[in-house]
């Protein structure tokens, strides 16, 4: 952290240097008011209450701000509480040099946090210098309660002012422009409370002409329900032309930390819920992937043996039924599985993208269920499917030819049977034994004609024999 140099004038001998604009007094600040003890009274009360709001966490408190920090012990304790860090072990002695040593340890710690203290020495704090003590406490408040406030790229005083403006913008009679007169009527404080806890204040019943009532309402509600101690007096604020800016800033910063902390916690809770929702969605996608992968692989496992069954049927009707079953598989059963495979790949890629964006490890499916495993199984299915289709078409063409040959064989056999009908009886007759020479000559001519006809039918017999051989 860079050094923070503060310059705030409390007296001719006391300055703190700071580089930030919010640490420099406004140019229009009334010099007479700086010399008025009213600012000291408001700062005493506010700074004391602010210190006690932290010291009570350690089981102690202060009564007199310039007296109770003189030995440095409670000052060191305050710094430990608000920073959450351990300071060097304090000196337990009661001598002046022990007190100076303890205060120096506290001042060294403040410097280690980037604040450069100028003209503030341990001796002034030990001696009970009011202005120096108040200046030191204001520096602590700035560093630990205001400096880290950040709203829309503005920080510290400007950030706190912008936060107040954003929160009170919708409220009537509220126009926060600074940390002094904008808060005199109490409506800005009530608006801040109502914006975050509308159950605590009925803003519609507040009146601008009742500043003391409004301020006391805000003080009482904040103390009772928000654990913000009363740090200001309503009469002091109303009766002062320009309330002390440091006192108002200190008190208002308590509201910022109370409400902004709750908002941050709510934001964190919402973020956790969102992360849980994303994780649940991712787990659901993982489960869906595993389920779809298992079902698809099981279907492929059952389908491949059916496609590998190449036992040919004996009839064309049976083979045509096989072909129709295959076409039904292609039209009805396979398309949903194609969609499942595509959805599986989409789910896998979507899941991996979600996990990568949320900085989570990549999803590793169960063994044998990787996208590559499914792609290989699907490739094997389509290869078997292609082979089955080719076999079916080949078998059907073969059966068609067999049916054609069988019909041709039948026709040729019928024609041959028709030709041979009666020929054997005719040849077995012995009418030549009683025939005359002329009749014998006629029978010989008739036999010669039969032999010629038989030679002509020999080709048909050979064709029948060839068809029969092919049918085998």
pLDDT in the model for residue 2: 36
* Residues sharing a CB contact under 8 Å with residue 151, sequence separation 6 or more, in sequence order: 159, 160, 162, 163, 166
pLDDT one digit per residue (tens) for the chain, 472 residues: 333 333 333 333 333 333 333 333 333 333 333 445 788 899 999 999 999 999 999 999 999 999 999 999 999 999 999 999 999 999 988 899 999 999 999 999 999 998 888 788 899 999 999 999 999 999 999 999 998 888 877 878 999 999 999 999 999 999 999 999 999 999 999 999 999 999 999 999 999 999 999 999 999 999 999 999 999 999 999 999 999 999 999 999 999 999 887 776 667 677 788 888 888 888 888 999 999 999 999 999 999 999 999 888 878 888 889 889 999 999 999 999 999 999 999 989 988 998 888 888 999 999 999 999 999 999 999 999 999 999 989 888 888 887 777 777 788 788 877 777 767 767 777 777 777 788 788 878 887 887 777 777 777 777 777 777 776 6
Q: How many helices and strands, by DSSP H and E, does the chain display? A: 17, 4
Q: What φ, ψ does residue 302 adopt, rounded to 5°?
A: -75, -30
Task: State the Cα–Cα distance between residues 234 and 212, nearest whole angstrom.
Answer: 5
Nearest to 363 by CA among 438, 449, 288: 288
Q: What is the pLDDT of residue 402?
A: 77
Q: Give me the residue label for tokens 């509220």.
A: 174
> Considering Cα of 53, then 59, then 65, then 66, what sign does the dihedral take?
negative
Q: How many CB atoms are located within 10 Å of the residue 421 CB?
A: 9
Between CA 181 and CA 245 the distance in angstroms is 9
| pTM, full prediction | 0.54
Pairing of strands 115-116, 154-155: unpaired
Amino acid 48: pLDDT: 96
C-alpha 456/C-alpha 450 separation (Å) is 10
Instruction: Say how far apart CA 23 and CA 18 lie, in whole Å.
Output: 6
What is the distance between the alpha carbons of residues 200 and 455, in angstroms, rounded to a whole number? 126
Q: Is 100 helix (H, G, I), strand (E, B) or coil?
A: helix
pLDDT score of 8: 34
The CA-CA-CA angle for residues 363, 364, 370, to 5°, reads 120
Structure token pair of residue 57: 């966490």
Nearest Cα neighbor of 412 from 337, 365, 471 is 471
Q: Which helix (H) or strand (E) holds 243?
A: none
CA distance 64 to 133: 11
Contacts of 67 (CB under 8 A, 6+ apart): 128
Measured CA to CA in angstroms, residue 168 lies from 146, 154, 216 at distances of 19, 18, 19
Burial label, 174 (beta-carbon count in 10 A; 0-12, 13-18, 19+): buried
CA distance 410 to 408: 5
Label residues 271-297 b or e (16+ Cβ within 10 Å = b): eeeeeeeeeeebeebbeebeebbeebb
Strand stretches in 174-257, DSSP E: none
Query: Residue 448 — φ and ψ, nearest 5°?
Result: -65, -40
Burial of 165 (0-12, 13-18, 19+ CB in 10 A): middle
| Angstrom distances, CA of residue 176 to CA of 90, 158, 161, 184 | 43, 12, 8, 11
Return the pLDDT at 14.
33
């Amino acid at each position: 952290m860079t050094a923070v140099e503060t310059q705030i004038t409390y007296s001719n001998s006391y300055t703190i240097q700071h580089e930030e604009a919010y640490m420099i007094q406004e140019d229009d600040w009334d010099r007479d008011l700086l010399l008025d003890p009213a600012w000291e009274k408001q700062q005493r009360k506010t700074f004391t209450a602010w210190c006690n709001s932290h010291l009570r966490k350690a089981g102690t408190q202060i009564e007199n701000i310039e007296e109770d920090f003189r030995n440095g012990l409670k000052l060191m304790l305050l710094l430990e509480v608000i920073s959450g860090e351990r300071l060097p072990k304090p000196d337990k002695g009661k001598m002046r040099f022990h007190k100076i040593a303890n205060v120096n340890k506290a001042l060294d710690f403040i410097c280690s946090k980037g604040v450069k203290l100028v003209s503030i020495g341990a001796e002034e704090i030990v001696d009970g210098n009011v202005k120096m003590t108040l200046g030191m406490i204001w520096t602590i408040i700035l560093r630990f309660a205001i400096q880290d406030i950040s709203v829309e790229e503005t920080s510290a005083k400007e950030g706190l002012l912008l936060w107040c403006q954003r929160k009170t913008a919708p409220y009537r009679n509220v126009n926060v422009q600074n940390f002094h007169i904008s808060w005199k009527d109490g409506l800005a404080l009530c608006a801040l409370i109502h914006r975050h806890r509308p159950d605590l204040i009925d803003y519609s019943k507040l009146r601008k002409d009742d500043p003391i009532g409004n301020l006391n309402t805000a003080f009482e509600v904040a103390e009772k329900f928000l654990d913000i101690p009363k740090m200001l007096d309503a009469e002091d604020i109303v009766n002062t032309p320009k309330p002390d800016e440091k006192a108002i800033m200190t008190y208002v910063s308590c509201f910022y930390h109370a409400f902004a902390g709750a908002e941050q916690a709510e934001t964190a809770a919402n973020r956790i819920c969102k992360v849980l929702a994303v994780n649940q969605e991712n787990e659901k996608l993982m489960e869906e992937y595993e389920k779809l992968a298992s079902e698809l692989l099981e279907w492929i496992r059952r389908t491949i043996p059916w496609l590998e069954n190449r036992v040919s049927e004996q009839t064309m009707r049976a083979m045509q039924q096989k072909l129709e079953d295959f076409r039904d598989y292609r039209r009805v059963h396979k398309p949903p599985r194609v969609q499942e495979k595509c959805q599986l790949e989409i789910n896998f890629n979507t899941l991996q993208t979600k996990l990568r964006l949320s900085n989570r490890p990549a999803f590793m499916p169960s063994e044998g269920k990787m996208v590559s495993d499914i792609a290989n199984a699907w490739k094997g299915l389509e290869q078997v499917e292609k082979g089955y289709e080719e076999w079916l078409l080949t078998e059907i063409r073969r059966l068609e030819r067999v049916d054609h040959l069988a019909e041709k064989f039948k026709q040729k056999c019928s024609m041959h049977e028709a030709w041979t009908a009666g020929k054997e009886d005719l040849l077995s007759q012995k009418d030549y034994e009683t025939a005359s020479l002329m009749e014998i000559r006629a029978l010989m001519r008739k036999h010669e004609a039969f032999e010629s006809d038989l030679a002509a039918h020999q080709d048909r017999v050979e064709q029948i024999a060839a068809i029969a051989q092919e049918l085998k």
